[in-house]
Structure 1
Amino acid sequence: MAQADDDVDAIIDAWAEILPDLDLTPLDVMSRLRRVAIDLHRAREAAFAAAGLRVWEFDILSALRKAPGDGSMTPSELAKTTRTATGTITYRLDRLAARGLVSRTEHPDDQRSRLVAVLPEGRQRVEAAMRTLVGAESEMLSGLSRDQMATVIASLRIIAATAASGH
């Protein structure tokens, strides 16, 4: 089934006229990824807001909820996991603790550090946000079959690995 041209097709067509010798396939792919990323960001913000969370709050609570063992992490581990500066993570943990979403206790093996754990209210909010998010993302992908989704996943893994390696 042929699909109607969209705004990316118009961009590609215009550049093909200007630079007919250039293969614009990478621009075609990445322009579409960029547009999907914008839509995904909006869907995530809405899912998190519905649970009373901001994006960064979800990221921290999600990391804690998935943490192995007793489900606690040090601020340094959280900073690394969420790719956040340690000073920023301290500020954010203060805000989450003030809202009753996380607790901080003394680290039994390191007096210079603390352990952070998600509290029941934080657990409920992060799980509700995840359910809403997966529903929204499922709707975004509803036009794809399972096989097509597997192909997209495999392709994006390759793109991510290539980008991470600097090639």
Structure 2
Amino acid sequence: METDAIAAIVDQWGRERPDLDTTPMLVIGRLFRLAQTLDQRLRPPFAEAGLGSGDFDLLAALRRVGEPHTLSAGELSRTVLVTTGAITKRVDRLEARGLVARTVDEADSRGRLVTLTAEGVALTDELIAVHLDNQRRLLAGLGEDERAHLAGLLERLAVTLPTSED
């Protein structure tokens, strides 16, 4: 079986510091490198559509909630896991392109709601299909059972790992 750069790093540390358990690097190092690689390979379709980093996440969050595809900035912030300031910048860009619209929250006149426009729905629907095809291609080296097993392990890690809010 072919090895990767992380295994070589762990081997080097094993030689230099045999007193340390370097095996966590086999997981964390690979996750970190894979996240970078996946980001680089998943981003091009969004860039081709003129979307900045994170713009598709915001559009997808609105599309996923169903009709009327509306959330507050706070709800978007919690869903997309970025600050409300970052949400504001993304909404500004997307509103300028006609993909989202802002309205006053009738329940709280100080609040604003962000709604996906018809053009935003169409673009999001087009891009999610491209995005999922891209993800399938990136996972093609794993069989169905391997993907399911990996998904389960990653879920277990995700729910057991303390978050910054904890």
TM-score by length of 1: 0.87
Letter in 1 for 2:123: R
- In the alignment, the residues of structure 1 paired with residue 48 and residue 60 of structure 2 have an alpha-carbon distance, to the nearest angstrom, of 16
- In the alignment, the residues of structure 2 paired with residue 82 and residue 62 of structure 1 have an alpha-carbon distance, to the nearest angstrom, of 9
Question: Partner of 1:107 in structure 2?
Answer: 105
User: How far is the alpha carbon of 1:108 from its aligned partner?
Assistant: 2.3
In structure 2, runs of 5+ residues without a counterpart are none
Structure 2 residue 83 is matched with structure 1 residue 85? yes
Kept after mapping to 2: 8 A contact 1:47/1:132:
yes
Question: Partner of 2:134 in structure 1?
Answer: 136
Question: Partner of 1:73 in structure 2?
Answer: 71
- In the alignment, the residues of structure 1 paired with residue 93 and residue 163 of structure 2 have an alpha-carbon distance, to the nearest angstrom, of 36
TM-score by length of 2: 0.88
Question: Partner of 1:20 in structure 2?
Answer: 18
Answer 1 or 2: higher relative contact order, Cα 8 Å, separation at least 6. Answer: 1
User: How far is the alpha carbon of 1:163 from its aligned partner?
Assistant: 2.0
SS at the partner of 2:142?
coil
SS at the partner of 2:18?
coil
Cα separation, partners in 2 of 1:91 and 1:20, compared to 1, 3 Å: closer
- In the alignment, the residues of structure 2 paired with residue 56 and residue 5 of structure 1 have an alpha-carbon distance, to the nearest angstrom, of 32
Letter in 1 for 2:71: M
Percent sequence identity over matched residues?
A: 37
Letter in 1 for 2:39: H
RMSD: 2.1
Question: Partner of 2:46 in structure 1?
Answer: 48
- In the alignment, the residues of structure 2 paired with residue 55 and residue 123 of structure 1 have an alpha-carbon distance, to the nearest angstrom, of 18
SS at the partner of 2:153?
helix
Kept after mapping to 2: 8 A contact 1:74/1:115:
yes
Question: Partner of 1:163 in structure 2?
Answer: 161
User: How far is the alpha carbon of 1:67 from its aligned partner?
Assistant: 1.5
Cα separation, partners in 2 of 1:32 and 1:87, compared to 1, 3 Å: closer
SS at the partner of 1:114?
strand
- Superposed structure 1 runs of 4+ greater than 6 Å apart: none
User: How far is the alpha carbon of 1:72 from its aligned partner?
Assistant: 0.8
- Counting matched residue pairs gives 165
- In the alignment, the residues of structure 2 paired with residue 160 and residue 29 of structure 1 have an alpha-carbon distance, to the nearest angstrom, of 13
SS at the partner of 2:43?
helix
- In the alignment, the residues of structure 1 paired with residue 3 and residue 107 of structure 2 have an alpha-carbon distance, to the nearest angstrom, of 61
Kept after mapping to 2: 8 A contact 1:58/1:126:
yes
- In the alignment, the residues of structure 1 paired with residue 54 and residue 130 of structure 2 have an alpha-carbon distance, to the nearest angstrom, of 16
In structure 1, runs of 5+ residues without a counterpart are none
- In the alignment, the residues of structure 1 paired with residue 3 and residue 41 of structure 2 have an alpha-carbon distance, to the nearest angstrom, of 24
SS at the partner of 2:54?
helix
